[in-house]
Amino acid sequence: MVLSRELQVLDLKFVPFLDHSQILERISELGTSINQDFENKLPLFIPILNGAFIFAADLLKEICIPCEVSFVKVASYMGESTSGQVEEVLGLKTDIRGRHIILVEDIVDTGLTMSQLIKSFMPFQPASLSIATLFVKPDSVQVELPLTYVGFEIENKFIIGYGLDYNGQGRNFRDIYQKAD
């Protein structure tokens, strides 16, 4: 498939980075691993809104073992830099005590958001806690995280598309675009 050309989003230019079909192929592999690792464990997927909504939808379609899904929302990110502050965790209705939790995230940058989220879950004593993230920026990560299911390790550049936004825009693109140099 040929990716469309350069994009202007607000004040930034972006260039094609990853094709939709490559993303789906990798997600299928992640799904296979999760199906094997969590058979008979009734995992609870907790996708983090807003960014993970498309990844979560495609990942869940690859899961063929019994499971549950409960979305949460955190507020922590503005523009191109992360604040590292999880201001609020909204929407978790399911009791996570004794459950096998798989946090579903679009991208781990510094890792501070995930780290704080995990800290807020630990008092409820889940049976296990792992992370499924579509992207990680290894050069940017500042904390130890259970990054068990990683789609792609990428360089430390800003990307958009497939759920990821730049100041609210670009989530709707099928492909991933990287900020132009």
Span near ligand IMP by CB under 6 A; candidates 6-14, 26-34, 57-65, 154-162: 154-162
CB contact at 8 A, 119 and 62 = no
Cα separation, 4 vs 85, whole angstroms: 35
Query: Is there binding between residue 84 and ligand IMP (CB under 6 A)?
Result: yes
Dist CA 78 CA 84 (whole Å): 10
Would you state the structure tokens that stand for residue 110, as one six-digit string?
């510094």
Q: Which of 31, 43, 47, 111 binds ligand IMP (CB under 6 A)?
A: 111
58 binds ligand IMP (CB under 6 A): no
Place of tokens 């969590």: 38
Q: Which listed residue (109, 165, 175, 181) is catalytic?
A: 109
Largest CA distance in the chain: 49
Among 3-11, 56-64, 76-84, 87-95, the segment contacting ligand IMP (CB under 6 A): 76-84
| β-pair partners for 94 | none
Question: Any catalytic annotation for residue 165?
Answer: no
Chain residues in the site for ligand IMP (CB under 6 A): 51, 77, 82, 84, 105-113, 158-160, 164
> What residues are annotated to the active site?
109
